[in-house]
Structure 1
Amino acid sequence: MRFTSEQRLDDGVLEREFTLGEIPGTLWTPESAAPVPLILMAHNNGLPKGESRLVARARHTAAYGYAVAAIDAPGCGDRPRSAADDQARADLRRAMQAGEPVDEIFESFIGPLVEKTVPEWQTTLDALLTLPEIGGPVGYSGWTAVGIRLAVTEPRIAAAGFFAGGYVPLAQREEARQITIPLLFLLQWDDEGNPRQRALDLFEAFGTKEKTLHANMGGHVGTPWFEVDDGNRFFGRHLK
């Protein structure tokens, strides 16, 4: 892991850009002399680690007392992307906007992306846990499909918060039954990109006995800011 830049932000959080092989990432850490728990924060496919909503959540969470890390998934952010990936994203957006079936497009594009992204998160986790300012345990927050795979394959993940997605690859819908860690599931009731009933069915499928559903009115990007604070308290119960 090589840090390429750092800056102290107004809220006292230290923001550092890093590279790990081909993986670009950002690490936010609080003003604390003691090692702190780590939260991996993943955005949905195609959105960069520098997207404003993710950065705002990461800074607020770091100020709360956690180390927070985000990376760009393969083909996302500034990483090279193929014409086929761009076409798949365009086809997916067009079909969803038109109300057409998207399962086939979704499986062919998102399924392989999950397979490529999860090992990179595990490689990043290996490197982050060697830093003296990070003491574990580890939480996960964000993209549901990647989070499900991490929750069932990575024993270092102790708790997870998912931003509800009705569209999750079939493999992850099956893996959801294997999840046993505490889970917070956020659902936007009027999410134009994720069918409500699919999200509710997914919540029911999670195998853990300790799962909480927070549903709020509004569309995909309308998650109330207070859910960030609720998420921090959720992680506080399980990571501190």
Structure 2
Amino acid sequence: MVLLGHGGSGHRHSDRILSLADRITSSGCAAAAIDGPFHGERVPSPLTPAEYQGRMVAEGISEVLDRMADDWVAARDLLVDAGVADRTRQAYFGFSMGTRFGLAAALALGTGLKCAVFGKFGTQSTTALDPGLHAPDRALNDASAIVAPVLFHLQWDDEIFPRPGQLQLFDAFASADKELHGFAGGHGHTPEHAPAVWHAFIDRHLVRAARPAGCPIIRGPVPWRPADTHA
């Protein structure tokens, strides 16, 4: 199963998530996506970047990272118990905000994580983001504990996450098998051929080794629970 994390201001039904899910399920593997914190069906109506970033900062970025990781593990366990996925074979995909939360999620998945695709995120950020979101030590600590193969997608001219910080994050991964793919352009640009590169990486490390039959994409809400009721 491949867990698909969306970017900021996106949601689990965004075009990129659905397109990737189609690629993944066509390979005979399950794909699952849940809404990120203060996104999608976790809020009554869409929030602006300033609004959802402010809510994360008010709650504490480390606490939000931990709770989102718990939600990913809960979603994984639910699908495993339903017979949809194999507990021992998962991959994670997510860029930008999907990497911010994906680092903690990938680590929480434990030995079941067989590979991950990250990118468009780093240890430095510009004034485009609320400074309260800045948590470079957490990102580096989580990355340094990830030993599964990693592909990192870097937009060379990223105006939100400067290149040096992205390179520092890539260097921190403990993976013996890691790849850095750099592309010209800013944060919002993705070359048309890039999805094929991501999919080939996941296929090589996850799908070819085990091809479960009949695995669907799972679409369903996972509520964002307040801190005092989160299990």
TM-score (norm 1): 0.69
Partner of 1:13 in structure 2?
none
Change (3 A) 1:90 1:203: closer
The structure where strand makes up a greater share of residues is 1
- Measure, in 2, the Cα distance between the counterparts of 1:165 and 1:124: 24
The correspondence for 2:107, drawn from 138, 152, 161, is: 152
1:233 offset after TM fit, Å?
Answer: 1.6
- RMSD (CA atoms): 2.9
Query: Which of 56, 63, 67 lines up with 2:30 in the alignment?
Result: 67
Q: Structure 1 51/90 Cα, relative in aligned 2: closer, same or farther at 3 Å?
A: same
Q: What is the rounded CA distance, in whole Å, between the counterparts of 1:79 and 1:55 in structure 2? A: 19
Q: CA deviation at 1:40?
A: 0.2
Q: 1:75 to 1:224 in 2, by over 3 A?
A: same
The answer to whether the 8 A contact 1:191-1:218 is kept is yes
Task: Give the corresponding residue for 2:177.
Answer: 210
Note the alpha carbon deviations across 1:151-192, whole angstroms, 9 max, x for none. Answer: 323222111110230246231222211111100000111122
Aligned residue identity for 1:59: D
The CA deviation at 1:91 is 6.6
Distance apart, 1:109 and its partner CA: 5.6
Instruction: Give the corresponding residue for 2:39.
Output: 76
- 1:114 is aligned to 65
Confirm whether residue 171 of structure 1 aligns to residue 134 of structure 2: no
> Which residue of structure 2 aligns with residue 47 of structure 1?
10
Amino acid aligned to 1:64: S
* Helix, strand or coil at the partner of 1:78: helix
Give deviations 1:34-85, integer Å, cap 9, x for gaps.
xxxx000001244211122222222222223321110012311121279x99
Q: Please tell me the residue identity of whatever aligns with 1:176.
A: A
Counterpart amino acid of 1:210?
D
> Pairwise mapping of residues 1-240 of structure 1 onto structure 2 (< 5 A)?
38-80=1-43, 87-89=50-52, 110-135=61-86, 137-142=89-94, 143-155=98-110, 156-166=112-122, 167=125, 169=135, 170-239=137-206, 240=209
- Between the aligned partners of 2:174 and 2:201, the Cα distance in structure 1 is 18
Equivalent residues of 2:150, 2:175 under 8 A apart: yes
The 3 A distance-change label for structure 1 pair 140 and 226 is: same
Contiguous gaps of at least 5 residues in structure 1: 1-37, 93-104
TM-score, length of structure 2 as denominator length: 0.72
Q: Return closer, same or farther for 1:80/1:108 CA change in 2, 3 Å cut-off.
A: closer
Alpha-carbon distance between aligned partners in 1 of 2:48 and 2:149, rounded to the nearest angstrom: 34
Count of residues paired in the alignment: 191
What is the alpha-carbon distance in structure 2 between the residues aligned to residue 91 and residue 106 of structure 1?
5
Bigger Cα Rg: 1
The alignment partner of 2:81 has SS state of coil
- Counterpart CA distance in 2 for 1:79 and 1:89 is 11
